[in-house]
């Protein structure tokens, strides 16, 4: 895309005169003519739009083609009882860590946060100039609802979607139109215009019969249109490396980011064990038992554990690190500071 200003965007399909009439400035007309010729030569298709403010639209899969180790983060919309400004304070502070993209979670139908996902993802991209990816969940959605959400994403300039089955909420209806994340992935692919990400589970999805079945299901997501994957959190890197081997044997060769969540308090540990099913390796369990009643010590130990994981993963050549920030920019900043040079060295190699 070639931008003359935040107001004018050249289109290959519109006549030079139509744009020249917008300004009698000779310099503008000369610049317009040169850029028009260049656009035709390079076969750019660019639309004049008052909505687009000159920001480059990039698919997440393109980032993996330009960097050896991608670094990204996840945030979630504030609860209905919280002020929306809190998320923007978080995003502004996260911007200093130079993430390649930020993903925004999606609240299921009646939880009240789904409507904020598009706005926050759009603002991350267009206000903070960081690429974004919007989550979209399947289990409580109808095809008509998914279509409206995708239209909203498109209208707000969002090109990247993370397709998830989503958690079951007992109080919400289950239409049954999307049974699995792969069903939603195929639907988004057929809708067109989006780069689709999928989730993966190093220790297997909690509902999978076994690890082989889980890999088969992941292969189905890829065949449906997912171009890259982000993993569920894990605490033993050996589990992730074994998972990568299984994926490779299954012919899965899309980029796979390692999902890392720093554990900094006791309640966080209890919640993860009950909801995520992640196993706790001996080293991690010893850390927790030693410091669980000392909040400051557990905070420091949890940060150190996550940093150790990340450095080992980068040194082993993973495609990327996806940091589950829990909307805590302080934690993200500490971790980024400690891995910054390692990331830079990896991307120079």
Active site residues: 74
User: Residue 91 in contact with residue 124, Cβ under 8 Å?
Assistant: yes
User: Residue 339 in contact with residue 309, Cβ under 8 Å?
Assistant: no
Q: Residue 164: helix, strand or coil by DSSP?
A: strand
Q: Residue 136: helix, strand or coil by DSSP?
A: strand
Instruction: List the one residue out of 227, 222, 231, 240 whose CA is nearest residue 199.
Output: 231
User: Residue 103 in contact with residue 75, Cβ under 8 Å?
Assistant: yes
Distance between CA atoms of 15 and 69, rounded to whole angstroms?
43
Q: Residue 51: helix, strand or coil by DSSP?
A: coil
Measure the N-to-C terminal CA separation of the chain; round to a whole number of Å: 29
By the 10 Å C-beta count (0-12 exposed, 13-18 middle, 19+ buried), 105 is classed as: buried
Distances from the Cα of 175 to the Cα of 66, 115, 145, 182, angstroms: 40, 19, 11, 16
User: Residue 182 in contact with residue 220, Cβ under 8 Å?
Assistant: yes
Backbone φ and ψ of 233, nearest 5°: -65, 155
């Amino acid at each position: 895309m070639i931008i003359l200003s935040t107001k004018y965007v050249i289109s290959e399909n519109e006549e030079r005169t139509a744009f020249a009439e917008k300004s009698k400035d000779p310099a503008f007309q000369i610049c317009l003519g040169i850029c028009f010729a260049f656009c035709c030569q390079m076969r750019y298709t660019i639309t004049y739009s008052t909505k687009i403010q000159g920001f480059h639209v990039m698919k997440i899969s393109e980032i993996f083609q330009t960097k050896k180790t991608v670094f990204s983060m996840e945030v979630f919309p504030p609860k209905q009882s919280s002020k929306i400004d809190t998320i923007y304070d978080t995003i502004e502070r996260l911007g200093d860590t130079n993430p390649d993209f930020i993903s925004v979670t999606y609240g299921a139908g009646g939880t009240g946060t789904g409507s904020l996902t598009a706005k926050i993802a759009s603002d991350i991209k267009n206000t903070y100039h960081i690429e974004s990816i919007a989550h979209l969940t399947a289990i409580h959605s109808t095809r008509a609802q998914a279509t409206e959400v995708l239209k909203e994403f498109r209208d707000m300039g969002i090109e990247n979607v993370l397709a998830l089955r989503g958690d079951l909420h007992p109080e919400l209806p289950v239409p049954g139109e999307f049974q699995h994340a792969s069903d939603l992935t195929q639907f988004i692919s057929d809708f067109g215009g989006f780069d689709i990400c999928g989730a993966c589970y190093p220790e297997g999805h909690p509902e999978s019969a076994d690890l082989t079945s889980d890999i088969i299901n992941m292969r189905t997501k890829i065949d449906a249109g997912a171009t890259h994957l982000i993993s569920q959190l894990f605490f033993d890197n050996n589990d992730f490396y074994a998972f990568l081997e299984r994926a490779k044997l299954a012919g899965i060769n899309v980029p796979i980011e390692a999902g890392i969540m720093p554990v900094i308090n006791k309640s966080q540990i209890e919640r993860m064990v009950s909801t995520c099913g992640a196993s706790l390796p001996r080293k991690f369990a010893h850390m927790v038992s030693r410091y669980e009643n000392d909040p400051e010590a557990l905070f420091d130990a949890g940060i150190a554990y996550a940093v150790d994981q990340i450095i080992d993963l980068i040194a082993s050549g993973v495609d990327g690190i996806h940091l589950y920030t829990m909307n805590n920019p302080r934690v993200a900043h500490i971790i980024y500071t400690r891995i910054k040079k390692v990331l830079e060295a990896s991307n120079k190699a």
